[in-house]
Amino acid sequence: MSSIHENKTYLVTGGTTGIGAATVAHLAEAGATIIATGRSPETLEAAKQVAPPNVEFIASDAGDLEAITALANHIQVAYGKIDGAFINAGIAPFAPLETWTETQFDNLFNINVKGPYFLAQKLVPLLNEGGALVFNTSVVHEVGMGNAAAYGGSKGALRSIVRSLSVELAELGIRVNAVAPGPISTPIYGKLGMDEAQLDGFASHMMSRVPLKRFGAGEDIARATAFLLSSDAAFINGEELAIDGGLINNVG
């Protein structure tokens, strides 16, 4: 039985670890050709060592507009057109209001908002008819969380972009949606700026708020993303699919 993703080509940004890596693996196993990006030389090299032949890993900084332009140019030359993209790369620094600097704030919004916006701009001419863009937002912009004002703000901005682009690009036959992960077990939790005790407390607190009483896995997001990229989701546009074990329905 053939897969709906066979003979399709997708871009996955931030594809070397966590949710991105799970999505690359899921789509590649389904028969798609994948262009995956990463910024860390170490994780890129590790991913290349185990990549199947239908996956190309390339270095690209999600917050750098020159790198974004170079990525789009590479796709155009090497692949011509693609069928969709999972715009996933992002950072999640959690820190109190008083500790933030302008440089940190600008870096966050460069990677989480400006980069995704301009990547979408560059990708639109490269998308086949019926193409799809899926952005990675977060339930954090819905639930409110201490030390997450800047991060939640960046993801709220991205959610707004999804709404607007879903209308703007519909006339081109391009669908735009988002996946909004809740607490997912990925390496990004080690990059929140917390020590081990704080991370343990954060994990326990999140677990207590999730009705399913567990963290999700990268594969949970990968399956939802693959669905939104596919023609099975042909009449879904402008939506944000929360994959959070019921967290946003239990915020009282």
Highest-pLDDT range among 25-34, 142-151, 185-194: 25-34
Query: Residue 97: how many CB atoms within 10 A of its CB?
Result: 9
Task: Give how many domains the chain has, as a whole number.
Answer: 1
Residue range 34-56: mean pLDDT, rounded: 97
Phi, psi of 88 (to 5 degrees): -110, -30
Left if phi > 0, otherwise alpha if psi is -120 to 50, otherwise beta: which for 59? beta
Residue 250 lies in a domain: no
- Widest pairwise Cα distance in the chain: 56
Instruction: Report how far apart, in Å, the C-alpha atoms of 140 and of each of 42, 150, 225, 251 are.
Output: 29, 11, 18, 11
Integer Rg of the chain from CA: 17
Residue 3 lies in a domain: no
Q: Which two tokens stand for residue 28?
A: 């590649």
User: The domain that contains 236 carries what CATH number?
Assistant: 3.40.50.720
Residue 159 lies in a domain: yes
- pLDDT at 25 (0 to 100): 98
Q: Which two tokens stand for residue 101?
A: 């600097």
What is the identity of the amino acid at 29? E
- Give residue 188's pLDDT band: very low, low, confident or very high (50, 70, 90): low
- pLDDT at 2 (0 to 100): 63
- pLDDT at 205 (0 to 100): 56
CA gap 16, 11 in Å, rounded: 12
Residue 39 lies in a domain: yes
> Which active-site residues does the annotation give?
151
Contact yes or no for 173/237 (Cβ under 8 A): no
Domain limits at 207?
9-243
Identify any residues that bridge with 35 across adjacent strands, giving them in sequence order: 11, 56
Q: How do beta strands 33-38 and 127-136 pair? A: unpaired
Contact yes or no for 155/137 (Cβ under 8 A): yes
Q: Which residues contact 252 (CB under 8 A, 6 or more apart)?
A: none
0.75 cut: is pTM over it?
yes
CA gap 73, 70 in Å, rounded: 5
CA gap 114, 65 in Å, rounded: 9
> What is the 8-class DSSP label of residue 184?
B
Closest CA to 10 of 29, 37, 47, 35: 35
In this predicted model, what pLDDT tens digit does every residue of 102-151 receive, in sequence order? 999 999 999 999 999 999 999 999 999 999 999 999 999 988 788 999 99
In this predicted model, what pLDDT tens digit does every residue of 194-205 receive, in sequence order? 556 555 555 555
Residue 252 lies in a domain: no
Does 1 score more than 50 pLDDT?
no
